[in-house]
């Protein structure tokens, strides 16, 4: 199949991913180089305390399609992804996690679906690893669904692909983990159609979740409230 006549930027957020960084970048590079003439991998690394920073730099040194942005301090996943979005230069912008929650080869399946009018978002096929994660995911998805009426299966799955022209219409400000819900709520507000695609879920193999913490969850609720107030102000004449 000949490559599509479009380009893609993939944003990979990284915090303390020394065991995943190289594999994530290399496997992504394999898929993208097979499928696109024009692509970039944009690693956003923030305040890692392990070797992630150096590994990311050396991956960029050895491959011109890889760029790295460092945030000196860890300022939240939403802030890192926004920084990636702001620096992405291609027609379509995709973000995925660096611990590969699905097989990146699967990205090839998405390519025939690329459409400048539509955002593509992934949902998890398969169970989360623990009762606690399952419960949190269920409660959070239900809450966001009730508040924003998004009509999607999985709010937080880290595969979201947005045409650049649409991304520019979104008012994204969440610095923490509310960013996924904010992105979907903004897509809805802007009237941008969303197509969902299922991915078989792989549990993290190396390293630890950096987001599975009570303060992170409380911050999501705070950011949701801030967003709701902002929306209210925006629609009030």
Ligand X SMILES: Nc1nc2c(ncn2[C@@H]2O[C@H](COP(=O)(O)OP(=O)(O)OP(=O)(O)O)[C@@H](O)[C@H]2O)c(=O)[nH]1
Say which entry of ligand X, Mg ion, none residue 180 contacts (CB below 5 to 8 A, set by partner kind).
Answer: none
74 binds ligand X (CB under 6 A): yes
Q: Which of 164, 162, 172 is nearest to 195 (CA)?
A: 162
Print the binding letters for residues 77-96 with ligand X: x by CB under 6 A, - otherwise: x--x----------------
- Non-local (6+) Cβ contacts of 60 within 8 A are 43, 66, 67, 68
Binding-site member from 17, 40, 45, 99 for Mg ion (CB under 5 A): 99
Q: Which range binds ligand X by CB under 6 A, 29-37, 42-50, 106-114, 117-125?
A: 42-50
Instruction: Name which of 116 and 126 has its Cβ closer to ligand X.
Output: 126
Binding-site member from 204, 217, 226, 231 for ligand X (CB under 6 A): 204
Print the binding letters for residues 138-157 with ligand X: x by CB under 6 A, - otherwise: --------------------
Q: How many chain residues interact with Mg ion (CB under 5 A)?
A: 2
- Non-local (6+) Cβ contacts of 173 within 8 A are 82, 182, 227, 230
Instruction: Name which of 195 and 209 has its Cβ closer to ligand X.
Output: 209
What's the burial of 5, exposed, middle or buried (CB within 10 Å: 0-12/13-18/19+)? exposed
Binding-site member from 6, 8, 11, 14 for ligand X (CB under 6 A): 14
Q: Return the SS3 of 214.
A: helix
19 binds ligand X (CB under 6 A): no
Instruction: Name which of 145 and 210 has its Cβ closer to ligand X.
Output: 210
7: alpha, beta or left? (left if phi > 0; alpha if psi -120 to 50): beta
207: alpha, beta or left? (left if phi > 0; alpha if psi -120 to 50): left
- Non-local (6+) Cβ contacts of 25 within 8 A are 12, 41, 43, 56, 59, 63, 66
Residue 97's alpha-carbon distances to 1, 17, 43, 226, in angstroms, are 27, 10, 10, 25
Say which entry of Mg ion, ligand X, none residue 46 contacts (CB below 5 to 8 A, set by partner kind).
Answer: ligand X
Q: Which range binds ligand X by CB under 6 A, 39-47, 58-66, 139-147, 223-231?
A: 39-47
Binding-site member from 125, 211, 217, 226 for ligand X (CB under 6 A): 211
- CA Rg value for the chain: 17
Instruction: List contacts with Mg ion (CB under 5 A).
Output: 97, 99
Instruction: List contacts with ligand X (CB under 6 A).
Output: 13-15, 17, 44-46, 74, 76-77, 80, 97-99, 204, 209-212
């Amino acid at each position: 199949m000949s490559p599509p006549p479009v380009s893609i930027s993939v944003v990979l957020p990284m915090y303390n991913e020394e065991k995943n960084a190289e594999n994530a970048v290399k496997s992504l590079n394999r898929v993208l180089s097979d499928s696109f003439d024009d692509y970039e991998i944009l690693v956003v690394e923030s305040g890692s305390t392990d070797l992630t920073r150096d590994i990311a730099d050396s991956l960029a040194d050895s491959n011109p399609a890889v760029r790295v942005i460092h945030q000196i301090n860890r300022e939240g996943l939403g802030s890192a992804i926004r920084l990636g979005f702001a620096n992405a230069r291609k027609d379509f912008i995709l973000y995925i996690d660096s611990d590969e929650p699905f097989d990146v080869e699967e990205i090839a399946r998405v390519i025939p679906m690329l459409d400048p009018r539509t955002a593509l978002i992934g949902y998890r096929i398969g169970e989360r690893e623990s009762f606690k994660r399952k419960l949190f995911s269920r409660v959070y998805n239900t809450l966001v669904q009730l508040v924003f009426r998004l009509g999607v299966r999985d709010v937080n799955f880290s595969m979201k692909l947005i045409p650049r022209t649409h991304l520019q219409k979104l008012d994204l400000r969440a610095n923490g983990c509310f960013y996924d819900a904010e992105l979907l709520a903004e897509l809805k507000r802007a009237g941008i159609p969303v197509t969902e695609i299922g991915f078989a879920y792989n549990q993290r193999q190396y390293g630890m979740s950096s987001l599975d913490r009570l303060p992170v969850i409380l911050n999501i609720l705070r950011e949701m409230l801030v967003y709701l107030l902002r929306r209210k102000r925006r629609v009030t004449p």
